[in-house]
Amino acid sequence: MEKDLEEAVSFYRRCLVGKREYNEARKKANRKYNAKTYDDIMFHLRKDEDAEMLESMRSAQERGISKPQWLHEIFELSKRAR
């Protein structure tokens, strides 16, 4: 039991070695990176009119598909349909 505890503490300390402190400079760098890399889009869907789309999105999430990946799939399908 004591050996297991020592191994757990040792593992925990090894994990901490590589972690950086999340300070103001890191926050600023992350915000700058996110601003140049991502375009944050927010939209609302109507429960009644967009029910089919909402169900499709929820079903995809249950299968482990992210919202961006779901949108990519819909976009690819719409391009093929043209």
CA distances from 77 to 54, 71, 74 (A): 17, 10, 5
Sign of CA dihedral 45, 50, 54, 34: negative
DSSP one-letter code for 20: P
pTM for the predicted model, two decimal places: 0.55
Specify whether the CB–CB gap between 70 and 57 falls below 8 A. yes
Tens-digit pLDDT string for the chain (82 aa): 667 777 777 777 666 656 667 788 888 999 999 999 998 888 899 999 999 999 999 999 999 999 999 999 999 999 998 8
Task: Give the pLDDT of residue 17.
Answer: 58
Enter the tokens of residue 12.
């925990």
Domain positions in the chain: 2-81
